[in-house]
A and B are shown apart, each in its own frame.
Chain A
């Protein structure tokens, strides 16, 4: 009889490994890891530029297992979710996915995520942060079961213009018929696998959901299938560049969850984040509805917008002013980058009324560290439409077969 392998106590190794970690550790070259929701994940495999360009020109693998996942089931599952989130879940058909936010009583965002409708009474909710307490409290009066399934599902994002081709070669026959925000079940080499046409890059792409024990085999077969299409794994930094171009928001970067804010006016409502299209006032009551209605009546005091900044120096953390002289402060930048694809210096920023109106010019106070000497630039920044980058191929069904 052999004794079971001793498991080190959690305090010896507080960060978990994902089912893909073994391969990721072999391929990464920089020892550049980052903790994400209790897991150790790769921040950069080779160079950020190489990985970013693979997102826009080839196919990329991104391990999103640490994303928190809940399974919500029961006779009241739909009613429960419909009261929880601001979008109308009744209209979400089985086999489809919806991007949602949920708010507290004051209409302030707690988190954003996606709802996968797997059946009439069966949903998966993916969230940025753990939500069990909020979900459990929200379940009072509803006949639902809520279960965290984060570690039971290995998840891999396969994104890029050649991703459909690679996945078909991998074995997902008929994948080209999958429209954005649809999901489908497949079996590849005897392994069940779910694919959804979702992602965080704003490009053509899919997310694969599988059992953890199949993770390494799927990874290996995908890399083999994508060899002629420049497939490579990417880390969180490259993904972050892609999501800024796509205009997607990152919790704790572009907004802070209302559950974590301490200072007043640091919370954000979906209306203030430009997510008004996610708020469906004509559905039955949902958390924060009355507060959001009142805010709509009052008008917005601030709004998250896209900025086109003059020059090519990213406006990281820049304060924004109403005039070049920098007297009246009107907001600040939450995310910024030079966009290699758009060839524009872009940023996401939260700006006070009335300076958030489209076309308004504000001034970004940019600090540059030039060989340890700080220089300051006041750059004009214009409020522009988001997303900055939205290629046709992101929606095309079927996608290009190449």
Chain B
């Protein structure tokens, strides 16, 4: 009932090709975006912004990036935090050495530098596939870990290897209050989500998906694997580079190479696996699951008034979180986005299933 598209006729190609073809989706997403921009800033507390919403937004952006590569193009990478690190340090050096540059330009340039690095580390994908490629992408992780910890130039010869740039300024707008950070990040995320969604619907996304589904067949119908795979690596690393710069500048404020370690790479991968591979929406679900859930779980005993020791509470957090991951993967191996899609299917007929 609720999701029936009966009566919504498409009379032009344009209408048929739009991003959200069903009216209900358009209304829903529209309301959500309006709420996110105008209601959330008044409702959420600073704590909520700083500890959950801001990391959620930035990691969603990174997860979208990784999803373009893994979910859409089928090239597994377990070193994507490396490209976030490249983005963060590129942005730091740009701000340091070219101080008059606008931060938006810094973001885009940092993205391009990360994209170039991503293409470089994507070259092995032309020869090796699957798990072998995954292992090869680890090289990116270890290389950047080494690079930013050892080559002092990148950290401006800081004593302890930790860098701390000034708060972001955009056309005289100093972004340092939690709400300002939120609005800025939300704006960036909306723009990048729309771009990603459209990329996957265009010829590039089709080339990626063809390569993912069967690379030999894709080659036969005229898709160049070099082109498809390297663009996927480039776009994906671009997204992660931008996310990395935001992670450093907006979320952490000061960071060390450890902030972009293997753990973060794996977390990104878990996000898209749990959220749903090959789905932009899945990146949102996955990021929410990985970022927000552990923090909530950690505080549940206290809200309930159960006097648990700190150690027990955090052991419980790990156990329940692990169990939930296993549970979701058993119930729906294709991710939370798939659950959502099933829900929509059901709503088409509900409440009259016949």
Partners in one complex: no
